[in-house]
Every structure is written in structure tokens, then in C-alpha cells.
Amino acid sequence: MQIIAHPDDDLYFMNPLLQRSIAEGSPVATAVLTAGEADGRNSPTDDDKEHAKTPADKPGYTEARHNGLRSAYALMATGNQQAAWRREVVTLGDGAQVERCTLAERPAVQLYFFNLAQNLHGSAKAPDGTGVRMRTLWSGDVPLESTLPGTGAPVTAPQDFSRDRVTACLLDLLKQRRPTVVRTLDPDPEHDPYQPGISLADHIDHTATAQFVLAALRTYTEETGARPVVEHFRGYTSKFWPSNLSAAAKAEKRSYLMPYAGFGAPCPANNCGDYQVRPDPGDSTHLISSAYRYTPATDWLVKDGTGRLNAFAVLGGRVVHWTEQAAGSGSWGEARQLTGDWLMPRLQVGVDRSGRIQLVALRRWAGDKDTVGAEVVRAVQTAPGGEFGAWESLEGPDYGNSDHRVRREIGAPAAAFDADGRLHVFVRNFAHGLSHRQELPGGGFGPWQKLGGSVLQDAVTAFTGHDGAVQVFATDTHGVLRWRQERAGGGFRTERIGIPVPVAGAVTPVESTPGRLTLYYREAGTANVVVYRQESDGVHWPPLPAVLSGHDGTGEIAAARWGSGRNGASSGTAVADRAGSGLLSLLVAAPGTPGIGWAESGGQLVYAPAMAEDSTGRMVAAVIGVDARLHTARQSSPESASPLGPWTTV
């Protein structure tokens, strides 16, 4: 289920993953909250004078955008953008009426239009003079927002919506559909890193929509016990960062935007699509990426001090935990849910020297009006294989700032243990630099400290080497920065790694041999999976990295060493990502061998895959599926040429 602000947010920001869900045959519903009527002039905006000559018709423009969205979904689902739809009125919440559109050939594909408009209550203004719209409705600065029915829509009469009514309708829709995946927009978009002060970098309707969705989801999960995957997608802020899609993926996104813009079908009434995005709807920075707001970790599958594998995911705002029933058995116990307040999707998982698992996450809550609270939190097992204690607040680098807009931009946390077993936590701060907080020898944590960097992507990974020294990697618009301890327990020194092409997202470091690092990442502009390995001296880097493959994948790269060579077993490295098909793509190779090549398997996955070696020396791959369940597959033997066995759904 997608819940978005405008009738193109899904096409620009959530594809190609949206299309993969449709292609798989999953039931798909998208709720569009606003009418998106803008100035009501349905003509290209690249020529201001010509655009101004177009008569303003807000109901007509709303209907045109809806027609375009129906055409795009019809093309994604049936291959025919002119496939028929059934349009009807449905009642939600306390009697509110919304339009539901059902694709006749694929009835499991549905669209819901709420049609909340702006400035229809002319006297209702926010204190700063802003007219009525989603943000001021959410903040309470205006009490009501009216709807704007499109021309010819089955819902003909305007309605008034309060903040509570919008939330109640979304709650009702969630209860009716019971989605396993909820996709929405960015609730806490970053400011423009190239402008002074706090400059809005995303559409305010995107932010408010995500706030409404989170409010509805909180109540929904509490009342029903449901645990859906929640995916937040960046909006306009993707333009600041390197493109994470291949040329083929961008072309595919554009192909579904063309019918949205009214191309490909006769249209005598000139209302078959959104002409404001013409002449080319693909000529936009919105097209270059499809990126999560909270960069997923790839280390959420770990082996604890008992030798059993443990898997974790944030589902429905809570951590869900699976544990092997016996070490190396491949049999898993039932999922357990940790208690606590709402967490955002990023979860960092680590195992300390005693074999206990420690979790680091980002907790978020809504305050008065449109204020937001956010902080880093930690939970620790009482003993290896034991229960988890309560979440402990580690605050954040900007926690004491009086402006909640500064506090809410905290990045997704990364963490690692040093040689003394102390936890180090890293996040991107409001200034787009890196901040660090470390556990003290006697317990507790020292203050947050700035480590430097500027215009960093919110894609930080931490790693502890064979020597016990902590290293942390962050990407910017040029390449990769590394902070590393000069020695175990020492201070951090910064260096730039000379990667010739920028990185899209995070890097995944693996110590291929003691003291020698290999970085795996997705190359900007091509989405190729790239490997960059240090020279044998463990200091220098080669002039160029090696490209493993492209396969039009998206998201972060999981990589893990497996096989210790004990008892004559071989060793190697496994690399996995989400391929363009939406399935797991895996490469397994041992030193001096060509490996078994890339192989796709399993079903559609969310977030990012994870891998770990079990107690028998076999490599295990794990994903969270679009069914919000854990899926695992193991090598049939510890040998390098051994492929993955069948997938098991836990």
C-alpha cells in the first residue's frame, strides 16, 4: 500500500519497486491525499507566458492528473494504458467519502483519491500567512481543509476534513486492507546543504503526508497487533545526492511517466494526463533515484555467543527478533517483538565481547503542533541468548538545540565495538557532518563529538578490524571518507579514499585478510555493484575498482566472509543485493576461483539483504519479504561452489 501526497509521488519516488509489486501479482492500493490542483492550468510550465494563457480549471486539472495516474497503473499492470477502470464512492471513518478506482482486468490494483485541496477556506490562514494545506492541517494552525472533487468524479460534493478525520480515514483504510508493506514519503527531510540556515528542500505536503501516515500506523499497530514493513522514500532531496538507478531503471520509470503526462492515447478533451510535466516528464531530478530516507543496514543477521543465528527487523515501528532453535540447525523459533516506542526502519545490530547482542536504533515521536522528537537508542541483551533490556536513550548530536527542525534531521545510526568491548555510535548531524559518541570504561557514554566532514550522504557504516580498531565510512557527492582509529582505543583520523566515481548510498567494508579491506558499493549513475580492494600492503588503494555486475539493482550491498578454512573447508566472500527484478542476487567466490556467478532467487524483498556464517561454516542469506516475514536460505555445504539451498519462510 502506498500513501502519498500527489498523483505522481509514487511514479517519481517509489518506482521501480512499485512496478515490481504489481508485476508479482500482489494486491496493490495507492491512496492519494491531495487534489494536487496547483494553479489549475493544465499546460507545460517550461514557458511561463504560454502557461499563463491556459485557463485555470482546478477541478479539471485534478481530474487530468487522476486520469494520468490511472493510465500509468494500467500500463504497469496490464501493458495497456487504456485498460478500463471502475470508479465508485466508498465511505471511510466517520462517513467521509473518497473515490475508489479498481482496474477491471486486475481488480487487486486500486487507487483511492481523498482530494484534499488548499486555500478553499480563504479566511483560514496559518500565522505566517500560509494558506490551508496538509502542513497547516497537521500542525493545527487551521482546523479544517476542504476537498476539491475533480470534474466528473463520483464524489461530487466538497467535504471538510480535520486532522483527526484524515488520520481516522487512513486508520480505517489500513484496517480494511491490512497491508504487509506500507510505502510513504519522508517525515523529516533534510535541509538544502548548499544553502545557509534551514531551507526547505522537500514539498511540505510530502512531509505532512508522512506525519499523517505515521500517526495512523501507530494506532493501527497498537489496536490490531499488525507488523507491516514501513518504507519511507526520499522526495525532492534525492537531487542532492548521486543517482542510484541504472540507465535501464530510469528509462523504465520514464516509460510509466509518459502515460501520466497524457502521452500515448488520443485525448480530445485535453484531460488525459498532467501536461504540466511536459514536454518530457523524465527530464527531472525526481527521476534519477529511488532512495529510502533511512539507509538500511546489511548486518541484521548475526551469530550470538551461543552459536545461534539471530535476525532482526523493524516492523510496524517495533523490533522483531528471530533466533535459531539450535546452532546451525536452520530451524527458527517464533518471532518475538521487543517493547518500546516507535522506531524508524534503520536498525544496527552488533555482538559484544561477551556474546550479547546490542541494538542501536532511531526513536521518533510527534510533539505539539508539527514539532518532532528524535533520538538514538540502545537495547542490550541480559546474557547471550537472553532477553533484551529496556531501550536506553543516547540522545543525538543536536539534541540540545532549541529548534526541533534541527533535532529532527538526525541521521541513521551506525555502531561498532572497539577492542575493549566499548560501543561507538556514529550519525550524520544537522550540518551534514559526522558525529560520534562512545561508551566509557566505567559505564555510560561520553558527550557527542563532531568528527568533521561536510555534505555527507546519510549512509554511514562502522566496522571493527582484526586489530580491534574501529573504522567508519561515509559517502559524500565525490566518493568515500574514512575515519579510523590510529590504534585500538585511540582517536580518529580522517582520510579520503580515492574512488574515481561517486558512490550511491553506503559502502560495505569486509576485511578480506587481516589488515586488508575490501569495499562493496553501488556505483553512482550506473547502479553497478563495485568491489574496491586495498593493495596487499593494507595501506594503498588501486587506481580503479572492479565492476562485479549491474543487473539494474537498487539499494545497499551485503557482503560477508564465510568459511574459516578449518577442517579443510574452503573460505570466500559472498555478495548480495536486490536485483532489478526485485529478487535477491547472490555471488559466491573463493580465492583463486571464478565463483558460482550471480544467481537470482527467492521472492520480492524489502530494505536490504543480510548474510552470515552459521556454526557449521555454511553461508546463510536472509531477507525480509514483501509479506513482512523472514526468509532464509543456506548453502548445502561449506564448500565455495555450494549453491544456496531452498528458501525457508519463517
Look at the block and give the residue holding cell 523459533. Answer: 333
pLDDT reported for residue 565: 45
pLDDT at residue 197 in the model:
85
Distance of CA 117 to the CA centre of its chain: 28
> Is the separation of the CB atoms in 470 and 462 below 8 Å?
yes
Q: Tell me, what's the pLDDT at 217?
A: 98
Give the pLDDT band (50/70/90) at residue 568: very low
E strand intervals along 371-469: 372-380, 392-395, 414-417, 423-428, 434-438, 449-452, 456-464
Q: What pLDDT does 641 receive?
A: 65
Mean pLDDT check: name the lowest of 331-335, 564-568, 579-583, 614-618.
564-568
Question: Checking DSSP bridges between strand 229-232 and strand 181-184, what pairing results, if any?
Answer: parallel
Give which of 637, 613, 615, 611 is closest to 559, Cα–Cα: 611
CATH level 2 (architecture), domain 2-287: 3-Layer(aba) Sandwich (3.40)
Task: Please check the confidence at residue 145 and state whether its pLDDT lies above 60.
Answer: yes
pLDDT, tens digit, for every residue of 84-123? 999 999 999 999 999 999 999 999 999 999 999 976 555 4
Spell out the residues 6+ positions from residue 327 whose beta carbon is closer than 8 angstroms to its own.
Answer: 306, 307, 308, 614, 615
Q: Is the pLDDT of residue 637 over 90?
A: no
Q: Name all contacts of 8-12 with Cβ < 8 Å and 24+ positions apart.
A: 8/36, 8/65, 8/68, 8/69, 8/257, 8/260, 8/274, 8/277, 9/185, 9/206, 9/235, 10/183, 11/69, 11/72, 11/253, 11/256, 11/257, 11/260, 12/253, 12/257, 12/284, 12/286, 12/287
Which cell numbers in the block locate residue 448? 557527542
Average pLDDT over the chain reads 92
For 587-635, the three-class secondary structure string (H helix, E strand, C coil) is EEECCCCCCCCCEEECCCEEEEEEEEECCCCCEEEEEEECCCCEEEEEE
Angle between helices 17-24 and 58-78 (to 10 degrees): 60
Per residue in 298-322, pLDDT tens?
Answer: 999 999 999 999 999 999 999 999 9
DSSP H or E run through 31:
strand 28-34
Tell me the HSE value of 276 on the side-chain side, using a 13 A CA sphere.
Answer: 18
Per-domain residue ranges of the chain:
2-287, 294-395
What pLDDT is attached to residue 162?
95
pLDDT at 126 over 80: no
Q: Which residue has the cell 531452498?
A: 646
Rounded CA separation 316/211 (Å): 15
In angstroms, how far is the first alpha carbon of the chain from the final one?
23
pLDDT of residue 639: 74
Which of the given ranges, 139-153, 232-246, 548-562, 570-584, has the highest pLDDT on average?
232-246
pLDDT of 43: 94
How large is the average pLDDT for residues 249-254?
96
The pLDDT-based confidence of 125 (bands split at 50, 70, 90) is low
Share of the chain above pLDDT 90, in %: 81
